[in-house]
Amino acid sequence: MPAMQVKERHITVFAVGIKFPRWEELHVLASEPPERHLLFAGDADDAANGLYSALSDPVCAATAPGCKVESHPCERRTLETVKEVAGNYVCWKGSKQPNAVQASLCPFISKAEPRVRCGSPFPDGQLSRGHAGRVPALQGLPQEVPPSPGGPGLAMSVGVAQYDEHVQIPIELGQHKDAFSLMRSIDALNFSGGRTLTGRALQYVAQHGFRSAPAFADVQDDLPRVVVLLTDTKSQDSVAEAAKYAKDQNLFLIGVGSSSMRAELTTVTGNPQQTIIYSDPQDLFNRMPELQRKICSVGNPEGCQAQSLDLAFAVDASSGAGLENFLHLRHFVRSSCLHFVINRDVTQIALVIYGSKAHTVFALDAHTSNSAVLQAIDQVPFLGGSASAGSALQHVHSDVMTVQKGARPGVNKVVVLLTSGGGMQDAAVPAQQLRHNGILVFVVVIGDTDRDTLLRAAGSPTYLVHISSYEDLQYYQGLIIERICEEARSPVNLCKPNPCMNQGVCILGPGSYRCECHGWEGPHCESSKDPLH
């Protein structure tokens, strides 16, 4: 009754439900038409995103008759958090059909490039008027700053360290606010000579190189942290431990050097795709765009940054793999996660470990940031016992890639099985079940195993990666990430995997789906018709 009274006063009512709401009640409360004013989502953040997209067009864009917006001088620059429409993450919205779900794109929240923020041109805060009478003001209309010649306006802070047997940081992060003064400081750097202790330099930079003030005082500085190692002399100390320490501090390492440095730089970065090899000074200059792309892709990899994905890793923690090799697998999962933007709108990641039984370490919707996922991975224990890859895939199918456990309808889904090859005989059937439900299965196997058994699980040679040793696993990371990103860009079937619970049948419509329920009700057949159930 109160909702009806509000609507009679020409006030628009949006009804927003979370998780499994009472759908009929939302229909009664919301303004007409329901497909415009109904929204429900798995959690409050997703619902807020969907409501924002519903409000943005056309409610907030409406201008009263007779009004016009005039341009005026802008006051200041600021970096602000904004919502951007990007990716293919689907918001669940209302539909003309009572129990159907209308799918539409959601914006996701991200740090925007610097913007010029404009105040009102009129002293009393009014818009210019075409008619007599006062109208509400539209305050703070944003105008975009033209992008810089080097690309979009990125929040970036640059520092420089130089080393021989000693390390110094002549240019600290954030010391220079413009490129010209930074260039003058770089030109003033002096050659020092001395022994090459690259390991010591990496350790020092990891400890002391990122302690400056944030790039923008009014914004939490969660920008990716990158170290570009430029060297042309083999190190006279060990680089492996120092590189591991730097990566454990969530630093992304890129190595640049001549061909004689290839092996050492790959040891530092852990990935040939994070190294740049040049032949002479002119070739080094020519490779600057490649270096720029690698830096700019950190935390926002090319091809994946705007693509939504539900990704599950199933990791062999059995005696067949062994503790030392399990740690290799765990490190591989950790470094792979650095290549994705992890939040509810873009990539969600789940982790399963298995011996004879499978165990969910964390579900798809458990962590909403890269740092939280990395911390959780570091705590993953070794299980031991025999291996059953089949039970791991069955567990992913029934207990990970489901709406109840955080899987999102309308988002591509991938499972990466990391195995020593043990227990693959029982993997073919659950792998086929996953594929039948629209979930791609990558099989990454280390060591000798019967290829026919592996192919039955992978379904195709395209989705099988066979690696001879655990030490070589790091060199295949780029290939595996690239294949996953290709899958993230492929078309999505809203009914695969089935979003309907309790044996409901998913019926696909144009841009929407509905669940045909038997003994249950609600958009996902989540509510029992039997009050005693």
What does 159-175 look like in DSSP terms, one character per residue? -EEEESSSEEEEE-TTS
363-409: pLDDT as tens digits? 998 998 888 898 899 999 998 888 899 999 999 999 999 888 888 87
Hey, which residues does 440 pair with through a beta bridge?
Answer: 414
- Mark whether 42 and 183 lie in a shared domain: no
Q: Is residue 101 part of a domain?
A: no
Which value, to the nearest 10 degrees, does the dihedral of the CA atoms of residues 203, 475, 361, 43 take? 90
The residue among 139 and 526 whose pLDDT is bigger is 526
* Token duo for residue 43: 């959690």
| Contact yes or no for 455/464 (Cβ under 8 A) | yes
Q: For residue 302, how many other CB atoms are within 10 A of its CB?
A: 11
Q: For residue 450, how many other CB atoms are within 10 A of its CB?
A: 11
- Measured distance CA(9)–CA(19) in Å, rounded: 30
- Mark whether 236 and 325 lie in a shared domain: no
Q: Is residue 363 part of a domain?
A: yes
Nearest 5°: phi and psi at 22?
-80, 100
- Mention every residue, 6+ apart, whose C-beta is less than 8 A from residue 400: 312, 350, 352, 360, 363, 364, 407
| Contact yes or no for 499/515 (Cβ under 8 A) | yes
Best-predicted range by mean pLDDT (116-120, 233-237, 450-454): 233-237
What is the extent of the structural domain holding 52? 3-60+77-93
Mean pLDDT over all residues of the chain?
Answer: 78
Domain count for the chain? 4
- Measured distance CA(504)–CA(498) in Å, rounded: 8
Alpha helical stretches, state H, 445-515: 451-458, 477-488
| Contact yes or no for 357/388 (Cβ under 8 A) | yes
Q: Which domain-ending residue is among 250, 274, 297? A: 297
Looking at the predicted structure, is the pLDDT value of residue 307 above 60?
yes
- Measured distance CA(265)–CA(273) in Å, rounded: 11
Exposed e or buried b for every residue in 228-245, given b needs 16+ CB within 10 A? ebebeeebebebeebbee
- Measured distance CA(298)–CA(474) in Å, rounded: 17
Q: Is residue 154 part of a domain?
A: no
- Mention every residue, 6+ apart, whose C-beta is less than 8 A from residue 358: 314, 352, 388, 391, 392, 394, 395, 396
Q: Is residue 127 part of a domain?
A: no
Q: Which domain-ending residue is among 257, 273, 297? A: 297
Band (453; pLDDT cuts 50, 70, 90): confident
Band (61; pLDDT cuts 50, 70, 90): low
DSSP secondary structure code for residue 259 in this structure = G
Tell whether pTM > 0.85.
Answer: no
- Mark whether 445 and 360 lie in a shared domain: yes
DSSP secondary structure code for residue 112 in this structure = P
345-362: pLDDT as tens digits? 788 999 999 998 999 999
Looking at the predicted structure, is the pLDDT value of residue 315 above 90?
yes
- Mark whether 409 and 479 lie in a shared domain: yes
155-202: pLDDT as tens digits? 678 899 999 999 999 999 888 888 888 999 999 999 988 899 999 999
- Mention every residue, 6+ apart, whose C-beta is less than 8 A from residue 22: 527
- Mark whether 234 and 328 lie in a shared domain: no
Q: Which of 431, 480, 473, 494 is nearest to 301 (CA)?
A: 480
Beta strand spans in 412-511 (E)? 412-419, 439-446, 464-467, 505-509
CA 339, 343, 345, 348 dihedral sign is positive
- Mark whether 188 and 262 lie in a shared domain: yes
Q: Crossing angle for the helix pair 262-269 and 240-248, nearest 10 degrees?
A: 30
CA 185, 190, 192, 198 dihedral sign is positive
Residue whose structure tokens are 């958090």:
81
Q: For residue 136, how many other CB atoms are within 10 A of its CB?
A: 10
Q: Is residue 442 part of a domain?
A: yes
| Contact yes or no for 254/226 (Cβ under 8 A) | yes
- Mark whether 164 and 264 lie in a shared domain: yes
The residue among 333 and 220 whose pLDDT is bigger is 333
Q: To which H or E segment does residue 269 belong? A: helix 262-269
Alpha helical stretches, state H, 302-388: 323-337, 370-378
CATH value at residue 177: 3.40.50.410
Q: pLDDT value at position 111?
A: 43
Q: Is residue 113 part of a domain?
A: no
- Mark whether 281 and 393 lie in a shared domain: no
76-133: pLDDT as tens digits? 444 444 444 444 455 666 666 666 776 666 655 444 444 444 443 333 333 333 332 2
- Mark whether 442 and 511 lie in a shared domain: no
Q: Is residue 136 part of a domain?
A: no
- Measured distance CA(305)–CA(339) in Å, rounded: 9
- Mark whether 432 and 505 lie in a shared domain: no
CATH value at residue 505: 2.10.25.10
- Mark whether 47 and 168 lie in a shared domain: no
Side-by-side strand order, sheet with 275-278: 225-230, 251-258, 275-278
Looking from the CA of 307 toward its CB, the CA atoms found within 13 Å total 23
Looking at the predicted structure, is the pLDDT value of residue 75 above 70?
no
Q: Is residue 109 part of a domain?
A: no
Q: Which domain-ending residue is among 267, 297, 327? A: 297
| Contact yes or no for 115/146 (Cβ under 8 A) | no
- Mark whether 458 and 422 lie in a shared domain: yes
Determine the 3-state secondary structure of 401 from DSSP: coil
